[in-house]
Amino acid sequence: MTAFKLDIDGDGIALITWDMADRSMNVITMEVIEELSALVDKVSSDAAIKGAVITSGKEAFCGGADLTMLESMGAIYADKVRKEGEVAAAQYVYEESSKLSQLYRRLEKSGKPWVCALNGTAMGGGFELALACHHRVASDNPKTRLGLPEIKVGLFPGAGGTQRVVRIMPPADALQFLLKGDQLKVDRAKAMKLIDNVVPQDKLVETAKAWIKAGGKGEAPWDVKGYKFPGGLVYSKAGMMTFPPANAIYRRETYDNYPAARAIMQVVYEGLQLDIDTALRVESRHFAKVLRSPEATAMIRTLFVNMQDLNKGARRPANVPATNLKKIGIVGAGFMGAGIAQVSAAVGLNVVLVDRDQETADKGKAGLHKAMSDRVMKGRMKGAERDALLEKITATADYAALKDCDLIIEAVFEDRKVKADVIKKIEAVIGDKAIFASNTSTLPITSLAAEFKDQKRFIGIHFFSPVDRMMLVEVIMGKETGDAALATALDFIRAIRKTPIVVNDTRGFYANRCVLAYIQEGHLMFLEGIPAAMIENTARMAGMPVGPLSLNDETGVDLGLKILRATEADLGAGAVNPGMKKLLEDLVEKNQRLGRKNGKGFYDYPQGQPKKLWPGLAELSPKKLSRDEVEAIDVEELKQRFLVAQAVEAARTFEEHVVTDVREADVGSILGWGFAPFTGGALSYIDMMGTKKFVALCRKLEAKYGKRFAPGKQLVEMAEKGESFHTRFAPKKKAA
């Protein structure tokens, strides 16, 4: 065996240690399923074995299924559809994808007691293994997380997870746990009855064995005669108080865009009316169906396979040795600069935070203290952790403090003159090997680098706000940027545990070009007289996390006006829409509505209350529609406009070589601005529809609404040839 080690002690208790030799973390593969199956047979058939304890030889217990296995299953399915037909292909997926569920049920019904000794994190199929065991003990490791996060990659727990969870806790709690994909600390998991005991690490296996010795039974509660569901039956008073509102919440949160979320609702509802074996078969059938869906295929590819590639350094120059970053300089102690300081200090980097005077620099650090103190008050952070983090940050007005920094990031105002002045001050004090990065969100890096003598060391590192929560960082290559600067930027991003995409220089780069297309579409709809509430709601129906007007408030309505005016100054009046310009001027200059930062933008933000659309908005629309005209609006077309406006812009950036890797285009679109995750990203959305259909839709929208929907030459050519982005531009994998 290569994945497991078997030891049987003098009491006849088998200790099975899961420790895959070729992996840093245990994952479920077909080989693991075969080996574990043999062990289940051994334990159940050997009269000398009284029971079994399964644990891990690694820091974590299991990271879940190897999703590349499921991805390849999807490829085989597509091939079988072509060669053998849909029925044979679907049967193949069902048989292969249900093997793990059947194995866990065999373990559960083996007649011998099984205990899972969770020494560390257990996710997905790894935690489903724990749930199939008759007793679960976890170590008191504060880093341990337990959960079923499959929903986040377009799947749901398909190895018995939905049916066992809903038999452990009331259905309302089970649905919330399954649909959110939360990762729980051990004390929370114990309170939810998902595990039975928490003990010190050095007592873990001993405690697990003691349960078997004390007469622990090899029978699950739901296999015992007289078992009752913890939340009562579906058709009971409790059931009626759960499922109708749960369905309404599901619709409100997903707009039925996610097949896996719908499947969770269905298998829980149906499973509670069936015996466990039938319920497990129902779960397996739904899992096989979801696995074959285009949404699951796209989400697995983007949010697991491709994101993993990028996090492991798929775009890092191989010729540059690993950098050993110890000290970071950040110039600009505002909201963005302070956020970068926070995430850097959180991973142990020393940070110098510089601003124009000591008071402003101190104010930036004080803001972090307040934000983290709020987290301490809510029990999300310990006071000692906050203090240790803040100790790593030195706030100063003295640029000389940057002299021994390995990487310096400027995060000052989006003003070319201000940035030029700061660049000169920094260059005067830093070493000749230090890397300089600008956090500009729109200004071309090459033009900013003109102020810096050694342009090979100049790069763009664009963070998204709020820095501590947004997982994407956009790295922008200037024309002269060298490999050392790129490698340093990527090493820094990996150190702060974020996902990088590398793009080439242009106004707005990749993310902001697409974001602005989304926000612009919302503005133009508003100028057409479409009610603001309808704009926001249809955007969410299309799959966007927030509407374009709400997003504009978050990014800053005043920033939007600054970007528009900078574009006009650089490219001429024809480059901006006069109606949009007037709308933003009316909001910012006539009504001082800057966005969320000053409590008023497209929305009002009353203290301690939910935000509400500003009643005065209607007065700013140049066109008023009657009720009949509003009711006649094609909602489906509005949804298409939102997604197509962004996707066609993403395709343009790809054609222009701004973004050069399909993985980065898709991952960047979801992590950067929340492009409908169920599509797998902006280019995956085009592939899912098919380039031919997408170009036809672009032409239709172009004829009705203008050239912003015009498909590029490359896209038209791909449509004519029937090509997709992920086949024509499939990335070459690095050698392992």
Amino acid at position 268, single letter = V
Which of 33-37, 284-288, 560-564, 590-594 is least confident?
560-564
Non-local (6+) Cβ contacts of 30 within 8 A are 69
User: Which structure tokens are listed for 714?
Assistant: 């490359």
* The residue type at 531: P
User: In the prediction, which pLDDT does 233 show?
Assistant: 87
- Half-sphere exposure at residue 691, Cβ-oriented, CA atoms within 13 angstroms: 20
- Which residues face 448 on adjacent strands? none
Q: What is the rounded average pLDDT of the residues 58-77?
A: 90
Residue 471 has pLDDT above 60, yes or no: yes
Instruction: Kindly state the average pLDDT of the residues 584-600.
Output: 94
- Confidence class of residue 4 from pLDDT cuts 50, 70 and 90? very high
| pLDDT (tens digit per residue) in 227-280 | 999 988 899 888 899 999 999 999 999 999 999 999 999 999 999 999 999 999
Specify the pLDDT at position 227: 94
Confidence of residue 441 (pLDDT cuts 50, 70, 90): confident
Q: Which two three-digit tokens encode residue 466? A: 């709020």
H/E stretch holding 407:
strand 407-410
Cβ(158)–Cβ(124) below 8 Å = no
Q: Burial code of 164-191, b = ≥16 C-beta within 10 A, e = fewer?
A: bbbbbbebbbbbebbbebbbbbbeebbe
Q: Which residues of 629-661 are buried (b: 16+ CB within 10 A; e: fewer)?
A: eeeebeeebbbbbbbbbbbbbbbbbbbeebbbb
What is the average pLDDT value for the chain, to the nearest integer? 95
When comparing pLDDT for 633 and 71, which is higher? 633
pLDDT for position 734? 56
CA 264, 270, 273, 275 torsion: positive or negative?
negative
Helix/strand/coil for 17: strand
Token pair 């340093």: residue: 488
Output the CA–CA distances (angstroms, integers) from residue 421 to 353, 418, 429, in the order listed: 17, 5, 13
Q: Output the CA–CA distances (angstroms, integers) from residue 354 to 405, 437, 462, 547, in the order listed.
A: 12, 15, 18, 35
Share of the chain above pLDDT 70, in %: 99
Burial class (CB in 10 A: 0-12, 13-18, 19+), 222: middle
Question: Which whole number is the average pLDDT over 98-107?
Answer: 97
What angle separates helix 67-84 from helix 276-291, to the nearest 10 degrees?
Answer: 80
589 burial via Cβ count (<10 Å: 0-12, 13-18, 19+): exposed
- Helix, strand or coil, per DSSP, at residue 191: helix
Cβ pair 288, 649 in contact under 8 A: no
pLDDT grade, residue 736 (50/70/90)?
Answer: very low
Q: Is the bond preceding 149 in cis, omega lying within 30 degrees of 0?
A: no
Q: What percent of the chain has pLDDT over 90?
A: 89
Chain centroid, CA 270 distance in Å: 30
Please report which helix (H) or strand (E) contains residue 174, including its range: helix 171-180
SS3 at position 468:
coil
317-349 per-position pLDDT tens digit: 999 999 999 999 999 999 899 999 999 999 999
Q: What is the pTM (predicted TM-score) of this model?
A: 0.92
Q: What is the pLDDT of residue 733?
A: 65
* pLDDT tens by residue, 665-710: 999 999 999 999 999 999 999 999 999 999 999 999 999 999 999 9
Neighbours of 706 (CB within 10 A): 11
pLDDT in tens, 239-253: 899 999 999 999 999
The neighbour count for residue 456, using CB atoms within 10 Å, is 15
735 pLDDT above the threshold of 50: no
Q: What is the pLDDT of residues 710-732, one digit of tens each?
A: 999 999 999 999 999 999 999 87
Residue whose entry in the numeric block shows the structure tokens 């949160």: 253
Spatial contact of 464 and 472, defined as CB atoms under 8 Å apart:
yes
Inform me whether the pLDDT recorded for 559 exceeds 90.
Answer: no
pLDDT at 382 over 50: yes
DSSP 312-346: TTTTS-TTSPPP---EEEEE--SHHHHHHHHHHHT
Residue 86 structure tokens: 């849909």
Asked if 405 and 328 touch (Cβ cutoff 8 Å), the reply is yes
On the question of pLDDT at 427 being above 90, the answer is yes
The one-character DSSP state at 730 is P
Q: Who's near 17: CB < 8 A, 6+ residues apart? A: 4, 5, 7, 54, 55, 56, 57
Give the pLDDT score at 78: 87
Q: Taking 60 as the threshold, does the pLDDT of residue 446 lie above it? A: yes
pLDDT in tens, 182-216: 999 999 999 999 999 999 999 999 999 999 999 99
